[in-house]
Amino acid sequence: MSMLTILCVDDQREVLAALKKDLAFFEETCDIIDCESAAEAWEQAQAVKDSGGHLFLVVCDHIMPGENGVDFLARLTREEDFHHMKKILLTGLADQQDTIRAINEAHVDLYVEKPWESDALITSIRDLLADYIKITGMDPAPFHLYFD
């Protein structure tokens, strides 16, 4: 198991495949897990917690069958064990009310519209990783390859 986990949640397999391809940049130190629903992602988040791992980042679509992305991220935010976790809401369809809830209830760190620009996403995740390392007090040495 890697030091950190990135959880990708989207009900469209092709979106998950594109995300995993872009996030391969982080594979040396991060497990990248893809899920097709919030229910599956909740189970994976609990498994990471139960194994003593660090759920560093959740990249989550907003519009999904069952629980939507904002509700799922808000639920994770309320969990003490995921207090430092970073969150990205990935969406092509969100209205102003959804955006307000994403900020106020889910405390998203980044809002990304589909289709995203790969280099910009990687740069943003590097910034979130640097912040996560600082906040959690993790040893930054294993992550030196991501920073100049």
Tokens 């799922």 identify what position? Answer: 72
Greater model confidence, 46 or 107:
46
Give the domain ranges of the chain.
18-137
Q: What would the two tokens of residue 38 be?
A: 């919030």
Instruction: Give the per-residue pLDDT at 100.
Output: 77
Predicted TM-score (pTM) above 0.85: yes
What is the average pLDDT value for the chain, to the nearest integer? 92
What's the CATH fold of domain 18-137? Answer: Rossmann fold (3.40.50)
Instruction: Give the per-residue pLDDT at 103.
Output: 78
Phi-psi region of 66 (alpha: psi -120 to 50; beta: other; left: phi over 0): left
Secondary element (H or E) of residue 94: none
Instruction: Give the per-residue pLDDT at 94.
Output: 62
Query: Nearest to residue 39, comparing CAs of 18, 16, 60?
Result: 60
Q: What would the two tokens of residue 81 be?
A: 């064990």
pLDDT higher than 80, residue 67: yes
Instruction: Give the per-residue pLDDT at 95.
Output: 67
pLDDT higher than 60, residue 74: yes
Instruction: Give the per-residue pLDDT at 122.
Output: 96
